[in-house]
Chain A
Amino acid sequence: MNELFDGYPRGQAAYDEMVGERGVRPALRSVADELDRLGLDEIRARAEYLRSAYLDQGVTFDIGGEERPFPIDIVPRVMQADEFAHIEAGSRQRVRAMEAFLDDIYTEGRCFREGVIPRHVVASSPHFHRVVAGLTTANGVRIHVAGIDLIRGDDGVHRVLEDNVRSPSGVSYVMTNRRAINSALPEVAGKHRIRGVEDYPSELLKALRAAAPSGVGDPTVVVLTPGVYNSAYFEHALLARMMGVELVEGRDLVAHGGRVSLRTTRGLRPVHVVYRRIDDEFLDPAVFRADSLLGCAGLINAARTGNVTIANAVGNGVADDKLVYTYLPALMRFYLGEEPILAQVDTWRLEEPTAREEVLDRLHELVVKPVDGSGGKGIVIGPRASEEELEKLRRQILKDARGWIAQPVIQLSTVPTMIDGHLRPRHVDLRPFIVNGGAEGIFVLPGGLTRVALPEGELIVNSSQGGGSKDTWVMADSRALHHPSQVQAPQRPSSVPLSNQIIDRVIRHQHEQQQQARPGEAPC
């Protein structure tokens, strides 16, 4: 039995991924045993080390302009190979469906004619941009990077909570978490076959290069950041560094004659792919917000001319609109002819009068969210809200029904987390990252970002709301255990012994003799 988990609560309402009613789940026993072998005191010390390592490395994010270390928990979240294979297949399917949907609404609009989704749902989305209608990319990809938020209810089933296909963030923490946990828990990590996450930058670069305008042999890729004040600046810098590409701000770019270039010490250098981490509205002051200082005027025009690819594409926000989300299973059947692999959360469309009436009656027991919110902003959790909050929400819904959706309260699954020196269940979600390289295939990063809500019972995991994160381990399939070194016998090294300074032993010996001899001798 594991001492570490002795006092850990069992059989609670929420599904715990590590400890079931009868103790540690069998599949996770070896991880738990290794942790147990270290003992609670040692794990506390490791957790402390982890915190200081993150501070030293500058792994931070910004809340309201203040740079804070990103909290990382010492206990990893573990997923089995088959469990993740399901998520992987489901994520790929979702990305394919959303690609087809975006391509359709910005070109033909078949889904409207066939009545799969009402035109007004799309047209009224704040992220639907008519300016990019008809604009396609060289390899047809619009969602170069997607993050799909998954939660696990008390039945243990993974459900999609929302999609992020504009510029999902958090992948940098997946990479830094792994590095940090590897050095904090080498005994545990070294004993298990965990699928690596180091390939993300090269997969992303591959996908971005594949998206370059046709005819460009060696495309120049840049990462466009809003600058050091952005909450995800750390991630932008990390990705640019790991891909070996330039990290640029809007003022470093100049658009001229339907092309985009970089201002460098050696003159202008053409850019072919812009991986932008700036919202649509700020991207191009010539088309969107004229007061934007973050973007580059003429970027959209250059994209339309086909000389530069913007990744992710402009106007993607329609696909991750939370109202469109409710139509996604139907869209998957329509475009792919497939049943959805991943389940979704039941959602009420507040535009529909009957649904709205039901929701307004039950506001105190539901979760109500703005359709285009991110970072947990604007979410009202019925059971926790005061009467005034609910009343305000009611007025907002009646005024703008398109702007809101309602979902039942879901008890997110829990994972043991180090809180004040003890392991306690805390709620988690999961954001797997998907990179779409078009013909190169769709890559799903093994694992993804596990966010954990640190306050007890808290269900909102966003880092901007005081959430932390965990390293996410996806165990490799045991069938893939054959190690290539068994095929090819490794060579034994041949080397020369280290050379050393020849030290004058005789002299030292005589010095010592001299010093020992002196006291007895008469002074001369």
Chain B
Amino acid sequence: MLSRIADALFWIGRYLERAEDTCRIVEVHLHQSLDDPTLDEVQAANDLLLLMGLPAEDKPDVLARLCYDETSPISFLSALGHAREAARRARETVSTEVWESINTTWLAVRGGRLSRMRPASMFKFVRERCAVIAGLADGTMSHDEGWLFLTLGRSIERIDMTARLLSTPSVAGNSPRAWGHVLSGCGAHHAFVQRYGALASDRDAAEFLLLDRLFPRSLIYTLNSAVLALGQLGPSNLRIRPDDAALRLLGSARATLEYLPPDEILRDLPREMAKLQLVCSEATQAISVRFFEGSAAAEWVGGEW
């Protein structure tokens, strides 16, 4: 498969997942501020921007910055735009249904259409569209190399964003329902209550979102699917250790999480989560170097022609 196409598919996976997860993160933020009228809104909004890697502002507008501001690099509107742009480059590879549904989504959100929706409807709309696209990709594309790149991108982005979401409760001070909101944000509330009952503690919630092997948005599950996809993508050295740098990074992050002593899960969670984000970023680099190298190197068309 062409490196350029692989690159595009990887980033379609990432941007779509980013749009959905940003949605979830903003929803959690809004619920948390509803809970607590004494909250310093500017501070909380700036914490959120910081969480997404943006500098603090004087008058932060969370909804614009993270949702519908076209110029903001972290808004899900721009993520959807990037996803559509990447899909356009790989139009001959993504299935028609996937392309159409990405395009439909883009047409429905661009040009300020999002800002005219009620926030609750906007979140629901974006989440559902992302789910439709993901479902179509799984259901209408051959599960070949291209699909593996899409899955890999989606998994890495999900690890990155879930790690960000999981560091919010310790930032939200001691809000009693912070973990409940994070669970709902990950769509995990129902699954969690079914497994642990209504009398579970914050630690149970953290444990579930970090380590549950059966819940598809838990860190461990997502790390597993990223590792699996990477393993299937390349011939790797089976005798000694995987020779793929990304695989090593993700695998060791998974082992660290998995073998963490139970009492240490909540201790310094934000730092652990920041480390995980770094792993995602390094793994992305390693994947680029190994698989996409050349696709982005523009030098060869430069100069006279």
Residues of chain A having any CB pair with chain B under 8 Å: 49, 53, 182-183, 186, 189-193, 196, 198, 201-202, 204-206, 209, 241-245, 481, 483-485, 487-488, 490-507, 510
Contact = CB atoms under 8 A, between A and B. Distances in A.
B37 A205 contact: no
Contacts of B195: 244
Nearest to B7: A501
Nearest to B120: A183
B193 interface: yes
A198 B274 contact: no
A504 B298 contact: yes
Given A186-B30, A186-B34, A244-B198, A488 B193 contact: no
Nearest to A203: B198
B73 A498 contact: yes
B52 interface: yes
Interface stretch (B171-179, B227-235, B236-244): B171-179
11 contacts: A190-B33, A209-B199, A241-B193, A485-B173, A490-B170, A492-B171, A493-B171, A495-B53, A498-B52, A499-B280, A504-B298
A485 B174 CA distance: 6
B284 interface: yes
Given A495-B167, A498-B74, A507-B298, A242 B198 contact: yes
Interface in B162-208: 164, 167-168, 170-175, 177, 180, 190, 193-199
Given A193-B37, A502-B296, A49 B199 contact: no
B50 to A, nearest CB: 5
A204 B197 CA distance: 12
B37 A202 contact: no
A495 B164 contact: yes
A485 B274 contact: no
B46 to A, nearest CB: 9
B80 interface: no
Interface in B83-105: 85-86
Query: Could you tell me the dominant secondary structure of chain A's interface residues?
Result: loop
A488 B173 contact: yes
A484 B173 contact: yes
B274 A495 contact: yes
Contacts of A191: 37
Given A209-B199, A498-B53, A505-B298, 5 more contacts: A193-B37, A196-B35, A243-B198, A244-B198, A501-B14
A487 B173 CA distance: 9
Contacts of B73: 498, 500
Nearest to B4: A504
B82 A500 contact: yes
Contacts of A183: 120
Contacts of B193: 241-244
Contact of B301 (A241, A495, A510): A510
B281 interface: yes
Contacts of A496: 53, 160, 274, 277-278, 280-281
Contacts of A242: 193, 198
A501 B7 CA distance: 8
7 closest Cβ contacts across the A-B interface? A485-B173, A497-B53, A506-B298, A244-B193, A484-B174, A496-B277, A244-B197
A182 B299 CA distance: 54
A189 B121 CA distance: 18
A190 B34 contact: yes
A205 B53 CA distance: 41
A33 to B, nearest CB: 15
Contacts of B71: none
Nearest to A205: B198
A405 B30 CA distance: 50
A191 B39 CA distance: 10
A490 B198 contact: no
B11 interface: yes
B167 to A, nearest CB: 6
Nearest to A511: B301
Given A186-B30, A493-B270, A488 B51 contact: no
A205 B199 contact: yes
